Structure 1
């Protein structure tokens, strides 16, 4: 078995990826910033290193590999591809260096998504094992964005709140804060009656006109960097939120769902029990979940050694279904991955294209295998 301490060249990592039938791919260090800013979400947006090219286009140092690999796949015009990479990523982290070595595999275009998901998890574990880390010294956690979204839909929450909660999934503190706000209607600020009436009536043009006049009267060119149109839009959204009546029973059901944390071999039974006890329909999501579990068993994984955590998500907005992490005993994330079926169309793919992949944090692997 090769340990990270014993190899001195990236060729060793590349051989491990090749053993998993992944075609080596290189992506430039300097990347257009727009795809990351538009599709990856706030978590990545606030951590990337931005610059400009000679034409004034926003560029960034490569903060991760999934988006660049997907862009190259689209440019190549292939229907499917299985790509392996190793290289340096650049982004600010809460702990650790801002430059760190990553490797991984992206599986794009595989129609059998359950089989592809299972292979992704199995490949991630195999790669880590080849790097000298025993799976029995780590914790494997699985979540599912699609099941969470199905719960939100089944509860019939307002679409605006469903979107907010979906974006917060995977951010424990943000999700809890969003639930708290949903439980307590927003109080509108003390506003002049004409402005309040325009917000209440939904008259955007009138509201913008009144805000512009108020800002001009106060000699303000903007308010906190926002234009009158932006202020009007935010005020209308706040008014809409203030009219929501808390539905405590539905919030209680959602909190019960988020508290589920069981071995994966018990997950389907627990989800069906939750569905029955709370009178909601999760059948489509549970059916996919169950088939994926069968695929995981088919590739030799022990479901009793994997934890399903209903509140677990990964902090990138492009994930759509399975999400997973392999963590060391100290809690460091060694591997993170998941399914991102909406990403390729957002990046310009001409038709719906499924994708799943994982990244390995090689600096953390070195510590875990020491």
Structure 2
């Protein structure tokens, strides 16, 4: 395993200081994390980037690829409505086709709050703290990229699509490969069943589909491997069939979405371009853009406006983000190696068993990348 070089203690302290001084309490997370949970949140494609561990006869686990899910689970189990936690420790994740370190240090902050009220100020506060922490490493070539998963949903709603199609687009907003596949469906004929087995399962509820899949396995003498249960596999096959049978985008609608995904400009120009591309049902989009005026005003106190760009399609490896997303980038390292990342992930808490209306936003900084003498 390739291990990231050690960062000088004074650099770690400088990067840590903005997050630690925010009034947060120290948190930690177990080194081993449940594999199936992370795959459900990030998609099966993430498996190749994780370090999987399994004792004989036991469930599959993986070395901690990130802290956010683990800290969120601990917060929910603690039964507190609000919480602010900072952490520091090693994470383990590979980058396909590269020689980057697979064990690296992260310093981060997670903020949890009860439902209700506006989120813009908290979003700006966390993004501002991520900027200050990244800048503390000494680099002078940093910029701040902003995005918003919720804006994509509002834009899709403006186009007046069938609800099933709109819901599917919103679901894959953070997964570029799946989104581009959906956009390509305007001109590519597909199998109307989504595959024989998927088509067979598509009319059944989850329990019935899982039972039928188990029966097929038994008849074929198949022993499932990899820790994925029949219910999970059946659900994926059903979604595949539903996606294939659902209405496709028109070419004009697909072109509007491609234009939206291509936006990368100053916030003012980015927002103007979104309004140009939007369909007639744009009330939700206008409301979402109005909230960004508050975020940008708050954020201007931490990050210089001339180093800020808006890229609405900005996403991360883990696709549980459902609001603001952001990255602090170094010109020397490029867009594939951000110095800091973060965003809002309210829906994750409900998926982990927390309150349906709970709020969550956080950030993570890579000290080795933030340090002017570090990654090059």
Deviation at 1:224, TM superposition (A): 11
Select which of 143, 146, 150 maps to 1:146. Answer: 150
Partner SS for 1:294:
helix
- Cα contact 1:202–1:236 (8 A) shared by 2: no
User: How far 1:8 sits from its partner (Å)?
Assistant: 6.6
With structure 1 as the length reference, what TM-score do the two structures score? 0.79
1:172-321 alignment, distance < 5 Å: 172-188=176-192, 220-221=220-221, 234=237, 237-238=240-241, 241=244, 244=247, 246-275=249-278, 278-281=279-282, 282-297=285-300, 299-321=301-323
- Compare 333-342 and 252-261 and name the one that shifted more: 252-261
User: Deviation of residue 309 (structure 1)?
Assistant: 1.3
Alignment partners' CA distance in 1, 2:343 and 2:236? 34
Q: Secondary structure at the match of 1:260?
A: coil
Q: 1:248, CA displacement in angstroms?
A: 1.8
| Equivalent position of 1:360 in the other structure | 365
Provide the C-alpha distance between the structure 2 equivalents of 1:44 and 1:120, rounded to a whole number of angstroms: 26
* 2:135/2:142 contact within 8 Å kept: no
Contact 2:35 2:52 in 1 (8 A): yes
Equivalent-residue separation in structure 1 for 2:357 and 2:234 (angstroms): 36
Correspondence for 1:17? 19
Give, in angstroms, the shift of residue 235 of structure 1.
8.2
Aligned 1:42-191 pairs, distance under 5 A: 42-52=44-54, 56-94=58-96, 95=98, 96-109=100-113, 111-134=117-140, 137-188=141-192
Give the Cα–Cα distance (whole angstroms) in 2 for the partners of residues 121 and 319 of structure 1. 14
TM-aligned CA distance change 1:185 to 1:288, over 3 Å: farther
1:338 corresponds to: 343
Please list every run of 5 or more consecutive structure 2 residues that lacks an aligned counterpart in the other structure: 1-5
Query: Which whole-Å deviations, capped at 9, do the CAs of 1:192-236 have from their partners, x for residues lacking one?
Result: 9xx9xx96x9589xx9999999999xx954699998x97899489
CA contact (8 A) 1:185 1:246 kept: no
TM-score normalised per structure 2: 0.78
User: How far is the alpha carbon of 1:174 from its aligned partner?
Assistant: 4.0
Q: How far, CA to CA, are the matches of 2:297 and 2:179 in structure 1?
A: 30
Please tell me whether the aligned partners of residues 164 and 246 of structure 2 are also in contact (alpha carbons under 8 angstroms). Answer: no
Corresponding pairs, count: 357
Contact preservation (8 Å) 2:160, 2:281:
no
CA contact (8 A) 1:149 1:166 kept: yes
In structure 2, how many angstroms separate the alpha carbons of the residues matched to 1:77 and 1:211?
38
CA–CA distance in structure 2, aligned partners of residues 214 and 57 of structure 1: 23
Cα drift, residue 80 of structure 1: 1.2
Q: Which runs of 5+ in 1 are unaligned?
A: none
Secondary structure (helix, strand or coil) at the match of 1:93 reads coil
| Native 8 Å contact 2:159 2:280 kept in 1 | no
Q: CA deviation at 1:14?
A: 4.4
How has the CA–CA distance of structure 1 residues 153 and 8 changed in structure 2, closer, same or farther, with 3 Å as cutoff?
A: same
Measured in 2, the distance between the counterparts of 1:191 and 1:286 equals 41
Q: Give 1:247 deviation, angstroms.
A: 1.5
- Distance in 2 (CA, whole Å) between partners of 1:287 and 1:145 is 15
SS of residue in 1 equivalent to 2:358? coil
> d(CA) in 2 for partners of 1:345 and 1:212?
29
